[in-house]
Amino acid sequence: MSDSGEFKRDATYIPDRITQDARKPEHGPVEGDLWPVEPGRYRLVAARACPWANRAIIVRGLLGLEDVISMGLCGPTHDDRSWTFDLDPGGRDPVLGYERLQQAYFQRFPDYERGITVPAVVDVRSRGVVTNDYPWITHDLFHEWRDFHRPDAPNLWPDDLREEMDEVMERVYTEVNNGVYRCGFASSQRAYDAAYDRLFTALDWLEERLADRRYLMGDAITEADVRLFTTLARFDAVYHGHFKCNRNKLTEMPVLWAYARDLFQTPGFGDTIDFDQIKTHYYVVHTTINPTQVVPKGPDPSGWLTPHGRERLQRH
């Protein structure tokens, strides 16, 4: 948190990468260790409540990597120490044997001082964390694990759109994905007002961009859509009220609402969303915002399954 009350996200993560033959990757930073792609060696630890982890769950499923990279799911709440495996029998991850994700971090870094975040990739062999650098986790699931993708896996990173897509995703991240948090955790009126204006300026831009194209980059789903979807899916359930992002609801933005429903109804997207876990996480964990920890019953999620009409924008 800055002196002016503006929320500042700690964006320092474990910088290790998993690549083919532990080679130097073509894109992105190489500041940590390189690990080899190896089926069965790694476990993705995620939580359905978390939008950043939700990305990794979606991409793993879209690419068909379920039998190559196992997945452990934490419950929707955590304390100051760590996310916990309270959804599993006995409260322990069945592969790692841990009660807390913190144990995987400490297994590799006994003095680890930063937040214990999801998603995290854990080396099953050593039971130590490999990386929690979520933007590069999903990037590398596509680029480095291609030999294990299902035959009809979508091209989430088209080469000819890479430059434009990077720009779109950067704006989506700064103004929308992180923008809702800047609203929710602002500790001054001035910081909140500025964050609110930035967020809805970006949502208006997206409403216009998606008016004549089915997906963010055109006719096919890309990583950019995955990144935007996880915030839109939580907007009315959490961000509108809990984070005071209340100029309007998602359901009151006709283009974005139709676009979000289109993705929700696409296999690999809506089936990763658990609205009860999402609401429980935000309303129970964020006690400074919601000290009563009362979780709202609404909104009614049935609207997500109504016709969206976005097929008409598809160009063949």
* Residues labelled as active-site residues: 50, 181
Q: Which two tokens stand for residue 133?
A: 């650098």
> 14-35 in b/e burial notation, b at 16+ Cβ within 10 A?
bebbbbeeeeebeeeeeeeeeb
CA distance 6 to 219: 37
Q: How remote is the C-alpha of 278 from its chain's centroid?
A: 12
In whole angstroms, give the CA distance from residue 78 to residue 28. Answer: 31
Residue whose token pair is 């035959």: 151
DSSP structure string for 10-75:
-------EEEGGGPPPSSS---S-EEE--TTSEEEEE-TT-HHHHHHHHHHHHTT-TTTSEEEE--
DSSP summary character for residue 80: S
User: Which letter does DSSP use for residue 187 in this model?
Assistant: -
**Tokens found for residue 239:** 């961000």
DSSP 4: T
